[in-house]
Amino acid sequence: MLPLIYHPIYSDFPLPEEHRYPLQKYRLLKEHIDKQCWPVEYHLPSSIDWQLLCEQHAPEYVTALINGTLPLVKMRRIGFPWSEALIRRSLTSLGGTLLTVDKALEHGCAVHLTGGYHHSHFDFGSGFCLFNDLFLAARHALTKPDIERVMIIDCDVHHGDGTATLAADHNDIITFSVHCDKNFPSRKPSSDMDLPLPRNTDDADYLSQFIPAVTLAVHQYQPDMIIYDAGVDIHIDDELGYFSVSQGGIRKRDDAVMALCKDHQIPVASVIGGGYRTDQSTLIPLHAELVRSALSIFHSHQTE
Ligand SMILES: [Zn+2]
């Protein structure tokens, strides 16, 4: 059984009517997976202790955000209105990415049905990211026996700027970002490996550059664990991405990452990452590719 990490709270915090964030996609994805009768088992995460965050973020930033006293201009940069429910959801989803690491170490592969807050920096959040779960999860993995180096493979269409800066001084956390060169964030601090691709990159261009690069990265750094952000905002119809990748391209990308992990016997904790469409239901088959891929590669389960 493939471990999936999910909490109903993921789609449950107040947003203004016209807000572009696809809040219902988590619930819709869970419902879609349930209908497939795939061999998965759900694990319910708990909220983390917020004080844990003071080890990686500025304590003043953490306490202000938790208490709702962060200046409005800084909340606007994050992109959500403050609410207690938002904070509860955020701390629970951080717990979810940590649980995904634990389950991946136990079973080889686990998938979190949210996560990927790569625009969260040391003392500010941006782009719908409050606290950085990828960096927190990498640090968590490094506390486990025999895990000496963790690689974060970030395939969201947006550059993993927060993760890159947080991990900059950590030789045991390797960051790899493949992203659109002309997209948010405008400032892209260096990851350990960056693969910027131009607007309108299609399946053939994406796969022919990404697969050799990620294979090289794994060979070069030989990580003991991989954290994979499988953002689907690389899709041609995404409203915040400028790539021209199809659902088939996303499938091949996810299969390639999963196969790389399986072949090298590296446990992989995946998060679904970004994906933005006004009609949220159209995102579901794209995010479901990650689960399908994990089942196919790690469990030899043919889904169709
Ligand atoms: Zn994104």
Identify the pLDDT of residue 9.
97
Identify the pLDDT of residue 125.
98
Residue 243 belongs to a domain: yes
Structural domain boundaries, residue 164:
2-299
CATH value at residue 19: 3.40.800.20
CA atoms within 13 A on the CB side of 11: 14
Residue 180 belongs to a domain: yes
Ion ligand 1 residue ranges (Cβ < 5 Å): 156, 158, 231, 233, 274
Residue 212 belongs to a domain: yes
Closest CA to 28 of 10, 1, 47: 10
Mutual orientation of helices 247-263 and 203-221 as an angle, nearest 10°? 20
Identify the pLDDT of residue 304.
64
Cα(128) to ligand 1 centroid in Å equals 9
Report the distance separating Cα 231 and Cα 276, nearest Å: 10
Residue 118 belongs to a domain: yes
Identify the pLDDT of residue 301.
87
Cα(76) to ligand 1 centroid in Å equals 17
Identify the pLDDT of residue 302.
81
Q: Which helix (H) or strand (E) holds 174?
A: strand 173-180
Residue 269 belongs to a domain: yes
Asked if 94 contacts 143 with a C-beta cutoff of 8 angstroms, the reply is no
Report the distance separating Cα 79 and Cα 265, nearest Å: 38
Cα of first residue to Cα of last residue in the chain, in angstroms, is 17
Residue 57 belongs to a domain: yes
Cα(117) to ligand 1 centroid in Å equals 9
Residue 266 belongs to a domain: yes
Identify the pLDDT of residue 303.
73
Count of structural domains within the chain: 1
Phi, psi of 177 (to 5 degrees): -130, 125
Residue 304 belongs to a domain: no
pLDDT, tens only, 163-214: 999 999 999 999 999 999 999 999 999 999 999 999 999 999 999 999 999 9
Q: Which residues of the chain have pLDDT under 70?
A: 304
Cα(146) to ligand 1 centroid in Å equals 32
Count of Cβ atoms closer than 10 Å to residue 115 Cβ:
25
Identify the pLDDT of residue 17.
87
